Structure 1
Amino acid sequence: MSQQRQVLQQAGTVEGNAVRFDAEKAEQVVEALNTDLSATYVLYHQLRKHYWTVTGAQSAELGRFFGDAAAEAERHADVLAGRVAAIGGVPVSGPAAFERHSPVPFEGADVYDVRASLESDLDAYGDLIESVSSHIELAESLGDHATGSLLREQLVELESRAHAIHGFLARDSLSPR
């Protein structure tokens, strides 16, 4: 294998783009999207870990939930990375870069009980929802309405997942208080 590599675009740079979005504005949006991309991948890996390790009475139902949520996070990541490239940026990649850029902290390698796992997921979704919400405002204030629309679509799905987790964690309404 050849040791020579030609760098087409350095990570952290923004070049001209086919959608004719101003490069200075694109830099700000790329930074925001890479933050959300990183957080989404951190969440994705956490959800996959929970899918692999869930046990207990509701493990089948929770396994489906974790699997579906992870697939949704992976799809979101692909859309975010595609938008970064479309506006002239380089999508962040690799575990170290994800950890460095993400507002969602890595949960760690240990396995926790289901309630603790769901609470950690709810925290991660909350952090990502806050980030995406602020980036919608940023993108639209810079005139990038396509990114704003893309993030709004993801926000609806993120909030739906957070609501579902909240339901899993809620006290059973039929239980004595």
Structure 2
Amino acid sequence: MSTQKTVRQSADSVEENSLRLEQDKAEQIVDALNTELANAYVLYHQLKKHHWVVEGGNFLAHHEFLEEAYEHVEEGADEIAERAQALGGVPVSGPTAQEDRATVEFEGEDVYDVRTMFEHDLELYGDIIESMRDSIELAENLGDPATGEILREILVDLEEDGHHFEHYLEDDTLVSKDAMQ
């Protein structure tokens, strides 16, 4: 364990940045980015949990789909954190701080049937997509199109994966209902 005791930057501060975005604007954008980062980790942990506990006839397809989905979320979270740091902020990183900062909620520790899990995931995606759109608008209104573009690219992946959950939840199937019971 390190013996260094000097704090280089407090967690809730935003310092001057080399991107020449005004301090007050950078503070607002970093605040929004940290909310998106916290939300991303709530979604990541829920998807990871579902990846671990999914069962049933379509186990492998669901297991692999959930892995791809949480990897997309993790990649987006990394980009968000790096952008917050580039703007002079400190990315929210601890689990308690992320939980406190998030505007969405983890479904809890219970294990549900696949349909219920996917319904919970789709609802979480929807909430995060709405929040992400607001953060894009904020960044662009504050004169930071680059952050808007970064978030827009992440949003495309979120919307695509959310749409895939919607497909999984459709009633149409090639498997007869009798075979599924």
TM exceeding 0.5: yes
- 1:9 maps to which residue? 9
Deviations 1:133-167 (CA, angstroms, capped at 9, x unpaired): 00100000000010000011111111101110000
Q: Which amino acid in the other structure matches residue 134 of structure 1?
A: D
- 1:79 maps to which residue? 79
Distance in 1, matches of 2:164 and 2:114, equals 14
Determine what percentage of the aligned residue pairs are the same residue. Answer: 52
Spell out structure 1 runs of 4+ moving beyond 6 A.
173-176
Distance 1:168 1:34, change over 3 A: same
Structure 1 residues 97-176: aligned runs within 5 Å = 97-172=97-172
- 2:35 maps to which residue? 35
Distance in 2, matches of 1:37 and 1:60, equals 29
Deviates more, 1:91-100 or 1:40-49: 91-100
TM-score by length of structure 1 reads 0.95
Distance 1:29 1:57, change over 3 A: same
Please state how far the C-alpha of 1:37 moved relative to its aligned partner.
0.2
Distance in 2, matches of 1:76 and 1:154, equals 6
Structure 1: give runs of 5+ residues left out of the alignment: none
* 3-state SS of 2:127 partner: helix
Distance in 1, matches of 2:2 and 2:138, equals 43
Please state how far the C-alpha of 1:96 moved relative to its aligned partner.
1.1
Q: Which amino acid in the other structure matches residue 106 of structure 1?
A: F
Between the two proteins, the alignment pairs up a number of residues equal to 176
Distance in 1, matches of 2:131 and 2:102, equals 10
Please state how far the C-alpha of 1:171 moved relative to its aligned partner.
1.2
RMSD over equivalenced CA pairs, Å:
1.5
Please state how far the C-alpha of 1:18 moved relative to its aligned partner.
1.3
